[in-house]
Structure 1
């Protein structure tokens, strides 16, 4: 027997907390038609896309005029603009329109990418580089000569301003989503375990941008009858489409192994034709990231190609090059801060300013990792006295109010300043800027099964663990994040993680 669960619009108190309140069918009370369906995902997306379009147009127009002004003397700008050939204005307008058109063609304002992940930024950069390439070819063909260095710098600055504006708009959008606005209403369909998994990933995740308003769940296969399979399904595509229409859903999410037969997806797509709801397939696919997945239809048979993870090759060379350049610059720039922290640590408590510890790196090779000392010098001897107060999970020892931590130690731990000496480990090649947390030898000895795969790449100064809650995460979640990174890392992804690390340093979460 299938199970239908509906979720009414969230009350303001729950919206402010950023949580989805799951309501069973027995607790569901229909709302009046005037308030039943809040602003749909299509409405907020179109409004947001219009704001992006207007912002993009304003920035591009200012960039074009600024690039033109670089040819004028500062004291004669009005006279210069008044004397510009109309053909020049026409050319600038054409280039601005082409830039706007390519931003649209490369889907930089597509509601499937706005407000989540790096694809919006990547597409914006690709579209802008295409514009510059086409401009160069055009100028070469018409023999008009290339713009001066100042004009090129202004146009490059325009791209940076566009990226900054998208980032600011995304921050605004995330604020709206925390208040329960700008969310697409979704109905989730599948077996109970798959539905619960999808909801757990969507719940409270601002980048998902979904508010679950209904669920159609089937019993899992191991708990359902073994008779004729078609008799097991208590709902079909028609009922799913009717439920989505009734609840004003913007999307129907079919969760993983939906248990509804081979033709269910095709028939459901037919039923949703002509409606405002889109069809989304949610597959765990072994935690594989999008860039490793490629689709290839063969005579109506959709084949999904999954790239096997590579732990050697060109990407790793680029990663090492980035590590060397950034770590070398960071050591030079941060040297005054290092000296200040050394003096404060030694003034606060007796002992050296640095703490070193043996950690395990790539391919189980050990190395000595450096940190600024944040505990008393005999912290290791006092550990045995605190084992019964361990608040960590798995093989980790964590304690929020650890008595071994010094006054300065609490401050540098809160803002992760104690980790800065590991930049030296990065420069030496023992660690990377981004990667899994470097484990202790006794932790590695306790690893079992797939957890060992986190040792296939170098540990990192920062990583998925650091930007997703740190010590507030349980053992399973931290391992899941590390394994996901090991299998799916990319250079662009590393840059995103480093950027998010700066945000976490300003507003620390789970650091103790």
Structure 2
């Protein structure tokens, strides 16, 4: 077992990932290759489709205009910050910059051709930018996917020191630890000089004092320093720390004690040189309005129609297996504590509920929804119904009736709700969902605390775009069968 000092020595001599500096160049090369490919496709498409009549040959036009368009397009993306290192890996800022730059480049190209009286083919222009814009977005998405995959394998990560009180350090470290795709590797903690501990409660080694941030960051080859609560005693002390770090290639990040709040609810407004963070109220009330209800109703009716053959096949499989009931009705708790019968295709033996207590005792289960791998109560058709979540399709009728939503927190049992604390009760502010953040983040593989955290995040930060994103990701979760048992 290594000691804290041994660990400290190892992180001091380790070499941080320098491949991160090549991310902008990689993005530029991908953009240039896609622009060139789209340009060739646009030339062929213009010639074959012949949508717009033109006396000029497209190839003759593009000997000069083609390279200029690509250079101008790339330059516009660069000017709008599309190749800045801090936009890669997380958030929508990267995509927004690429989209805005592409639209601007298209506008400038059109204006310049008009003013210069250059006879650029309209068909080529529309195909080039019409195909090019989504191609660039897809290229950035592919790059981000590769980046996240590498980070999950421990590559291309930022080495981070966190400065602050031990409690704040642990809070930030937990957030960074549960999201490995962000690429932050916590290598040490910087605490106030009065704190003489060797490590925090979660095991982050204390490598020095917060007022020595610059020298320690250089000694430990840190890429970033997170300043959390308790890091500095005054604004002037923090300002001096930034001045000391301005000549080093070390990113400074402010990490306030604000977690599980979406970007849409945060606004930073400087007042007299003081950046004030304004946090909008939770959006759970918006999730109960007519817009979401209309979306649920239209979506559920459409899915019932699409999956009607699957409904019939699943019902026949369950009935022929043991001649028992096709549907399983279980009382669940809905919005504001209301009770409803949650519908599922029956996947267990008829006396499954009677065997539940003995399984609780055998497995030592105490709280939350009980699920176990290789549950002996599951029937043969029940296994494939569960594997692909087909057993939950009858809940579409719960959505039609208004008991549930397509997206929302998992519908809890009465005994779960009875054990809720004040914070967890917030899950009941909205209708439970057929799918949600809990399903696309691991389903049954999640711990009870992780599932609750995701549900509370959804309740407090609801948006229609998030619902659509979750529904899209649900397809991947169902196909992969991750956490389904």
Q: Deviations over 1:402-444 (max 9, x none)?
A: 2221122223223322222223333444322221111223322
Q: TM-score, normalised by structure 1?
A: 0.79
Of the candidates 156, 161, 173, which is equivalent to residue 199 of structure 1? 173
Of the candidates 2, 10, 15, which is equivalent to residue 38 of structure 1? 15
Q: Return the alpha-carbon distance in structure 2 between the equivalents of residues 401 and 448 of structure 1.
A: 31
Q: What pairs with 1:361-510 in structure 2 (closer than 5 Å)?
A: 361-390=334-363, 394-510=367-483
Q: Does residue 25 of the first structure (1) align with residue 13 of the second (2)? A: no
Preserved CA contact (<8 Å) 2:438 2:455: yes
The residue number in structure 2 matching 1:54 is: 29
Q: Does residue 175 of the first structure (1) align with residue 155 of the second (2)? A: no
Q: Does residue 72 of the first structure (1) align with residue 30 of the second (2)? A: no
After TM superposition, give the deviation of residue 106 of structure 1 in Å.
Answer: 4.7
Secondary structure in 2 matching 1:418 = helix
Q: What pairs with 1:151-162 in structure 2 (closer than 5 Å)?
A: 152=126, 155-162=129-136
Preserved CA contact (<8 Å) 1:188 1:216: yes
Structure 2: tracts of 5 or more residues without a match: 198-207
The residue number in structure 1 matching 2:200 is: none
Preserved CA contact (<8 Å) 1:393 1:474: no
Q: Deviations over 1:307-337 (max 9, x none)?
A: 1123445995554454344434433333333
Cα 1:98/1:332, change in 2 over 3 Å: farther
What RMSD in Å do the two structures reach over aligned CA positions?
A: 3.6
Q: Return the alpha-carbon distance in structure 2 between the equivalents of residues 454 and 472 of structure 1.
A: 20
Preserved CA contact (<8 Å) 1:413 1:511: yes
Preserved CA contact (<8 Å) 2:152 2:181: no
Cα 1:252/1:427, change in 2 over 3 Å: same
Q: What pairs with 1:117-266 in structure 2 (closer than 5 Å)?
A: 117-128=91-102, 147=122, 152=126, 155-203=129-177, 205-218=179-192, 235-237=209-211, 239-258=212-231, 260-266=233-239
Secondary structure in 2 matching 1:500 = helix
Q: Return the alpha-carbon distance in structure 1 between the equivalents of residues 341 and 112 of structure 2.
A: 56
Q: Deviations over 1:461-482 (max 9, x none)?
A: 2112112222232322221111
Preserved CA contact (<8 Å) 2:210 2:231: no
Preserved CA contact (<8 Å) 2:287 2:430: no
Secondary structure in 2 matching 1:73 = helix
Q: Return the alpha-carbon distance in structure 2 between the equivalents of residues 463 and 183 of structure 1.
A: 29
Preserved CA contact (<8 Å) 1:392 1:398: no
Preserved CA contact (<8 Å) 1:437 1:463: yes
After TM superposition, give the deviation of residue 139 of structure 1 in Å.
Answer: 8.3
Preserved CA contact (<8 Å) 1:60 1:96: yes
Preserved CA contact (<8 Å) 1:349 1:406: no
Higher mean C-alpha displacement, 292-301 vs 251-260: 251-260
Preserved CA contact (<8 Å) 2:191 2:209: no
Q: Return the alpha-carbon distance in structure 2 between the equivalents of residues 469 and 68 of structure 1.
A: 45
Preserved CA contact (<8 Å) 1:190 1:257: yes
Q: Deviations over 1:373-401 (max 9, x none)?
A: 11112222332333323565634223333
After TM superposition, give the deviation of residue 487 of structure 1 in Å.
Answer: 0.9
Q: Return the alpha-carbon distance in structure 1 between the equivalents of residues 436 and 387 of structure 2.
A: 17
Higher mean C-alpha displacement, 298-307 vs 272-281: 298-307
Preserved CA contact (<8 Å) 1:192 1:219: no
After TM superposition, give the deviation of residue 58 of structure 1 in Å.
Answer: 1.8
Q: Return the alpha-carbon distance in structure 2 between the equivalents of residues 244 and 265 of structure 1.
A: 15
Preserved CA contact (<8 Å) 2:287 2:463: no
Secondary structure in 1 matching 2:180 = coil
Structure 1: tracts of 5 or more residues without a match: 1-20, 224-233
Cα 1:420/1:115, change in 2 over 3 Å: farther
The residue number in structure 1 matching 2:303 is: 330
The residue number in structure 2 matching 1:4 is: none
After TM superposition, give the deviation of residue 370 of structure 1 in Å.
Answer: 1.9
The residue number in structure 1 matching 2:205 is: none
Q: Deviations over 1:213-242 (max 9, x none)?
A: 222234999x9xxxxxxxxxx8343x1110
Cα 1:468/1:85, change in 2 over 3 Å: closer
Of the candidates 58, 74, 88, which is equivalent to residue 100 of structure 1? 74
Q: Deviations over 1:140-188 (max 9, x none)?
A: 998989956x975774444443333333323322332233220111111
Secondary structure in 2 matching 1:116 = coil
Q: Return the alpha-carbon distance in structure 2 between the equivalents of residues 314 and 144 of structure 1.
A: 52
Q: TM-score, normalised by structure 2?
A: 0.83
Cα 1:475/1:101, change in 2 over 3 Å: same
After TM superposition, give the deviation of residue 272 of structure 1 in Å.
Answer: 0.6
Q: Return the alpha-carbon distance in structure 2 between the equivalents of residues 273 and 508 of structure 1.
A: 48
